Amino acid sequence: MIAGISRRGGRSASVAGRKERRVFAVCSALGALAVLSAGLAPSASAADGQSQQWYLSAMKADEMWNVSTGKGVKVAVVDTGVNANTPSLKGQVLVGEVPEAVGYKATEDYDGHGTSMAELIAGTGAQGGLKGLAPGAKIVPYRIGMKDMKDGSEKEKAPPLTDVIRAIADSDAKIISMSFTEDIQRPEILAAIKYAYSKGKLMVAGTGNDAAEKNFIGYPAAYPYVVGVAASDESGKVGKFSEHGNYVDLAAPGLDVPTWCDETFRSYCVGVGTSMATAITSASAALIWSAHPDWTANQVLASLIETAGRDWAKDDPSTYLGYGLIRPRKVLEDSNFNPGAAGTDPLAKENVRGVTGVGTDNSPSPSASTSSQPPKNTSGGQTSAAGSSSDSSDDNTTMWVALGAAAAVLVIGGGAFAVVRSRRGA
């Protein structure tokens, strides 16, 4: 059995402070790949990790699993390694499919982070472990060098991210999940990403966790053809830490989500990070792709964008939540869903335009009713997103509706959806 779950508390908790400072520090280091989870603060224990996975009921996972579990879809998890022997991941990790040239210690997770992401995607939930949103999917693990690796020689032995991405591009894994970031753009990585896109891969990455201190452009999320994911809470509000800019494409649960506390794999902690949002988005894509195996990566992404929860016009994406909060259920419940043309890139406008930069001004952003549009990189304070949307309907008014009375409800087109956002502009 899992030893227990510890709830991550606020910044005042000593353990939270140490862990959070460490992670935020590495996220700010120039050119350093860093994982995107923060705020580990043990307090009261709970029965198991699943009891803290609020988003499973909120997203109606049980109903989605009646249609799809992600079976037949392989997700490449590029991270700190994946421990294939946790109860929840036994039989879920395809170790033999990692090419030897880029497989250095792929199943030795020195931090617990990569294993957590794998469980959030495809965990079986065995013995109280985390239940993945796509429990029928399989994980292909890749370990890359991270800033906080204690052993410098291990970091040097880890395969370059460029080689890893190209290896995945040449494999039959459909989705590349990347819960890490750095604040510089590297031409060789961009070239590898373009190659992976040409091979039909769907790439997902977290936007970063430093917005509360210094909002910066986070790569690989900001590269063309990579889906940049922000983190939101139960009410649909973006986390204050979640990086914002015109490279944010979607948002997903990333607050109060359980992960392994550390590399000992003895207990789970509940915390925050765009890492978790990335994994949950990757799992959502796996559910859809499993249900529609003939769709392309473009179509899977288009379906997530089309059904995302938002109360603003689809052609006016937010710099904080992008096209909205993921709702894969809305795709799965419609067997006749039209995902658009197979060869049409749903992010073509963003990919052509590129990232224009990220501002650090914390002045309030214009409201949705403001006629003048700020540059898409403008930051802002809290702005109510109340009001109706022309593409909303009575049947499409909530993103998360839990099965019980204690449901976390996100009302699209109503005052209950108060988010930090600004309009990207033309």
414 within a domain of the structure (yes/no)? no
Radius of gyration of the chain (CA): 19
Identify the residue with better confidence: 263 or 11: 263
Q: Model confidence over 236-279: pLDDT tens digits?
A: 999 999 999 999 999 999 999 999 999 999 999 999 999 999 99
Domain annotation covers residue 387: no
Whether residue 377 is predicted with pLDDT greater than 50 in this model: the reply is no
Give a yes or no: residue 187 inside a domain.
Answer: yes
What total number of domains does the chain contain? Answer: 1
Query: pTM for the complete prediction?
Result: 0.81
pLDDT greater than 70 at residue 302? yes
Q: What phi, psi does 282 have (nearest 5°)?
A: -60, -40
The answer to whether residue 201 is domain-embedded is yes
**Which pLDDT score, from 0 to 100, does residue 38 have?**
55
Q: Is residue 74 part of a domain?
A: yes
CA atoms of 160 and 33, how far apart (whole Å)? 11
Assigned domain for 152 exists: yes
Highest average pLDDT, of 42-46, 64-68, 148-152, comes from 64-68
pLDDT digits (tens, 9 = 90+) for 65-100: 999 999 999 999 999 999 999 999 999 999 999 999
Q: Does 418 fall in a domain?
A: no
pLDDT surpassing 50 at residue 212: yes
More confident residue, 363 or 125: 125
Tell me which residue range forms the domain holding 10.
4-353
Residues in the chain: 426
| CATH classification at residue 274 | 3.40.50.200
**Residue 420 forms part of a structural domain:** no
Determine the Cα–Cα distance for residues 220 and 367; give it in Å rounded to an integer. Answer: 30
CB of 376 closer than 8 Å to CB of 356: yes
pLDDT at 220: 97
Confidence of residue 8 (pLDDT cuts 50, 70, 90): very low
- How many CB atoms neighbour CB 100 within 10 A? 6
Active-site amino acid positions: 79, 113, 275
